[in-house]
Amino acid sequence: MTKMRILLIEPPCERFKGMITPYFPVGLLNIATTLSKYGYEVKVYDTEKGINTEYKNFQERLLSYDYYLQGLENDNHEIWLEIQKIIKEIEPNLVGISAVSVKYKSALKVGKIVKSIDKDIKVVVGGIHPTMYVDSMLKEKVFDFVIAGEGEKKFLKLVKMIEKGKIEDNNRVITEGDYISDLDFLPIPDRELLINKHLFSSNDLGAIMTSRGCPYKCMYCNSKIFWGGKIRFRSIENVIQEIKLITQKYKVKQISFIDDVFINDKRRTINFAKALCKENINVNFLAVTRPDLIDKEQLESLKKAGCNYIKVGIESGSEAILKKIGRNTSLELIKKSIGLLNDSGIFWGAFFIIGFPYETEEDIYNTLNFMKAIDPPYATLSLFTPYPQTKIFNDLKSINLLPTEDNYEKYDHHSPYNYFSPLIERNRFRKLVEEVMKEFDAQNEKFNVLREKFYSQWNRQQKGNF
C-alpha cells in the first residue's frame, strides 16, 4: 500500500476580517515534520495567510469582527472557494484540522468542505478546543477522529492504525498518551512543508517554541489544563540549532519565542543568552514573561544576546482583581519591573485584560489609569474570554453568562459580543470597552509603533523609577 497523503489545515478567522496573523502554525508543523520523518507525504496549509491583510488597531478589530461571522455563513466566500480548490489539487487521503475555540465553527466548515469533495477522505480534528470538548466532537459526523492534547505521537499512531485498517468505533477518539517528556525528541519544524510558504515573511518563519506548559495558575488561562501545569524545556543546544538553521536558510533577522513564559527559569535564560552570544549570529529576538520574573541580571544578559522586545503580562491595574484572578503579583512589584525594563533599553510591551466577571467600572478605570501611568511603548488590550474548564469559566456557570461549546465563534479578545460582567450593565460595558480601546490605540500611536516597525532601534529615554 502506498503511504497516505496527509494535509493539515489551520482554519481561517482573522483573514475574514482583513487582519494579519503573524508567525506560522507551529503545532501543525510539529506534527507534519514528525510524520514526514516517518516517510509520510504531508503538507500544512495555513488558510490565515492571504494577500490584502493588514495590522489593525483595537477599535478597528472590534468593528471588523462581524466579517468573520458573515464569512462563516457565506459558502461562496472566496476564502472557502480557495480552500476547496487547494484540497482538490492536493487530493489528500487524510486531513487534520486544528481548532482554538474561536475557530471551532471554522474548523467544522473546513471539515464539511473536505467531505463534500470526497466523503472517503478521513478527517481528524485536534488542538485546544476539541481537547476541552472531546466527547461531543464526533456528534458532528464530519470528524472521523478526535485527538486530544499533544498531537505528534498520537497522530502517528492514528495514521498507522488507519493503514492497518484497524479502526473500530472505540478508537475514533484518542485521548490517552503521556506528554512527550523530552522535547528534543521532536524534529525542528520544517517550514518547507507549508504549501503557501511564499506568503510568510522571514520574521513569520522566525517563530520558535522552546518550552511547553507553564507552572502558574492564573484562573482565566487554560495552559495548565492543556499542558498539565508543568513546564518542559527543549535543551539550549536544540534551540540554538533551530536558530542557526532558520537564520541561514530564511535569513530570519527577528525571532519570536512564542512560549507561554519564555523568561522563566533564571539560570536557563542566562545560559541561553550566553550560548547565543557565543554563536555570534546576527539576530534579534522577542520574549514573553511575567513582571515577577524580571530582574536586572537577566535583562542585561538578554540585551547582550540580542533581545530587542519583551512582552510582559500585567493584566490588571486593580490590586483586588489581580488577587481574584490568581496572578500572584502586586502593583508595587509590577512598577518595579517596569522600572527595570525602562532602564534596560529593551523595547517592551504590556498585556492587559478587561471584562473579568468580578470587575466594577472602577476596576476597569484603574486598569486604564495604570496603563497610562506606566506608559508602555506598546500596550495590548484583550477582552476577557472564558475558556472551558478554567476556574473563571466554572464561576460563570452560576451567573448564566457562559458561551456554549458551539457558539465560541462569537467570542474572542476583541469581539463586540464579549460580555461576562454581571456588575456592569451590558450597554455601559460596551461603552467602556470602546473608551478604553480608544485610549490604548492612542497610547500606541503616541509611540508610532505599528507592527513590523515597532522594535527596530528602540532607544527610549530613561524614565527613572516610580
Q: List interacting residues with ligand B12 (CB under 6 A).
A: 13-14, 21-28, 30-31, 96-98, 100-103, 124-129, 147, 150-152, 155, 209, 221-223, 258, 260, 387, 412-414
C-alpha–C-alpha distance, residues 257 and 193, integer Å:
20
Among ligand SF4, ligand B12, none, what does residue 290 contact (CB within 5–8 Å per kind)? ligand SF4
Task: Show Cβ contacts of residue 402 under 8 Å, excluding neighbours closer than 6 positions.
Answer: 386, 393, 396
Q: Minimum Å distance from CB 37 to ligand B12?
A: 14
SS3 of residue 350 by DSSP: strand
Helices (H), 17-103: 26-37, 58-73, 78-90
Residue 50 in the binding site for ligand SF4 (CB under 6 A): no
SS3 of residue 119 by DSSP: coil
C-alpha cell recorded at residue 278: 557565543
Size of the site for ligand SF4 (CB under 6 A): 9
Report the 10 Å Cβ neighbour count for 229. 13
Residue 324 in the binding site for ligand SF4 (CB under 6 A): no
For 61, phi then psi, to 5°, come to: -60, -45
Binding mask 279-298 for ligand SF4 (x = CB under 6 A): -----------x--------
Binding mask 200-239 for ligand SF4 (x = CB under 6 A): --------------x-x-x--x-x----------------
* Half-sphere exposure for 283 (CA within 13 Å, toward CB): 29
Q: Minimum Å distance from CB 124 to ligand B12?
A: 5
C-alpha–C-alpha distance, residues 96 and 441, integer Å:
37
Closer CB to ligand SF4, 56 or 290, in the complex = 290
C-alpha–C-alpha distance, residues 317 and 373, integer Å:
10
Q: Minimum Å distance from CB 109 to ligand SF4?
A: 29
Q: Minimum Å distance from CB 15 to ligand B12?
A: 8
C-alpha–C-alpha distance, residues 206 and 240, integer Å:
13
Closer CB to ligand B12, 209 or 374, in the complex = 209
Q: Minimum Å distance from CB 309 to ligand SF4?
A: 17
Task: Show Cβ contacts of residue 198 under 8 Å, excluding neighbours closer than 6 positions.
Answer: none
SS3 of residue 425 by DSSP: coil
C-alpha cell recorded at residue 115: 467531505
Among ligand SF4, ligand B12, none, what does residue 261 contact (CB within 5–8 Å per kind)? ligand SF4
Q: Minimum Å distance from CB 296 to ligand B12?
A: 26
Among ligand B12, ligand SF4, none, what does residue 232 contact (CB within 5–8 Å per kind)? none
Which residue ranges make up the site for ligand SF4 (CB under 6 A)? Answer: 214, 216, 218, 221, 223, 260-261, 290, 313
